[in-house]
A and B are shown apart, each in its own frame.
Chain A
Amino acid sequence: MTSSLFEQVQQALAPAAGEPDVAHGVLVLNIESAAVAATAKALQEQFGFDMFLDVTAVDWPERAPRFDVVYHFYSTRDHVRVRVKTRVPESDPVVDTLVPLYGSARYMERECHEMYGIVFRGNDDLRPLLLYEGFVGHPLRKDYPKQREQPLVPYRK
């Protein structure tokens, strides 16, 4: 039953890819960055993926579109997960926001933005969430050195 659902999803949303790519029980869809909002909407309305689990990014500094933006969705009815992956370049790291569809998108997109610099078009509240005002840079990018601290309070002595 799960595999037929995956086939339907694959057919509807990424028909060019052919066979559904199921990695460890999760269907993986690779789509264009412009199609993110439409894909998420279709997943939510047509296929019942009503819970937005996570959005994060992966930094591949050697590759041409540098960032992979990775979304995970879960269906509480069918108990399956789907992973949606898209690629954005470093010069224009913009994807559409999912805030109109899911309430949880606000905070998760804020975190992804401050850590990697991915801009979510349409999310007007991209203030730093885990980091602080005045932090320069995006720490989870591979070119940010791990030990570079930006203290807010000057050190004693």
Chain B
Amino acid sequence: MTTTGNVATTPPRGPAFEYLTTKKDEFVGWARKFSLFPYPFVTACCGMEFMSVSSTPYDTDRFGAALPRFTPRQSDLLMVVGTVSHKQAPVLKRVYEQMCEPKWVMAFGACATSGGFYQNYAAVAGIDKIIPVDIYIPGCPPRPEMVIDGIMKLQDRIAAERHPIINKDF
């Protein structure tokens, strides 16, 4: 892991260390994916489907992702539900910046993904122009099953990520 002209700073790691890191990542990933605290940044019609998916019979609680935290300081999944207009954009960016690592962003609905069919002066054409997005759920509005599928894919992604918890190597 050396770059040209720099002194190597990381000593070589052996296979035992790699094994420990992988197991630690699996464990932390498992814990994190089943205890998502969403921040439902709800703006528009998709909010109705968000209400449906949080209640019976679709119930995100069985995925561990039901308990919303309405403050960004305590949440780790920012669900941007609905259209984000240019007036709302600074608010979204501030909320995103207030969240602590690790954090994930879900673009819920066609308007959050790409602006939907509002291609005009008022709507931001997809929130990934402002903040990085981890998973996109298309649909106008998406069916609750699609949302659950999206959450499950995000959980797979979280499980497969590296999770450095002590320093940037472990």
Contacts and interface: CB of A to CB of B under 8 A. Distances in A.
Check whether chain A touches chain B (CB < 8 angstroms).
yes
Interface of A: 131-132, 139, 144, 146-153, 155-156
B87 A156 contact: no
Given A153-B130, A155-B130, A156-B130, A139 B89 contact: no
A146 B130 contact: no
A152 B94 CA distance: 12
Interface stretch (B15-23, B71-79, B104-112, B118-126): B118-126
Contacts of B90: 152-153
B132 A156 contact: yes
B89 A147 contact: no
Contact of A132 (B87, B125, B131): B87
Interface of B: 86-87, 89-90, 92-93, 119-122, 124-125, 128-132
Dominant secondary structure at the A interface? loop
A49 to B, nearest CB: 33
A71 B132 CA distance: 45
A151 B122 CA distance: 9
Residue among A131, A152, A153 with most chain B CB within 10 A: A153
Instruction: Return the 10 tightest CB-CB contacts between A and B, nearest first.
Output: A132-B87, A153-B89, A155-B129, A146-B120, A153-B93, A153-B130, A139-B121, A152-B90, A149-B121, A152-B86
Residue among A148, A151, A152, A155 with most chain B CB within 10 A: A152
A124 to B, nearest CB: 23
B88 to A, nearest CB: 9
B6 to A, nearest CB: 27
Contacts of A153: 86, 89-90, 92-93, 130
Nearest to A137: B121
B122 to A, nearest CB: 8
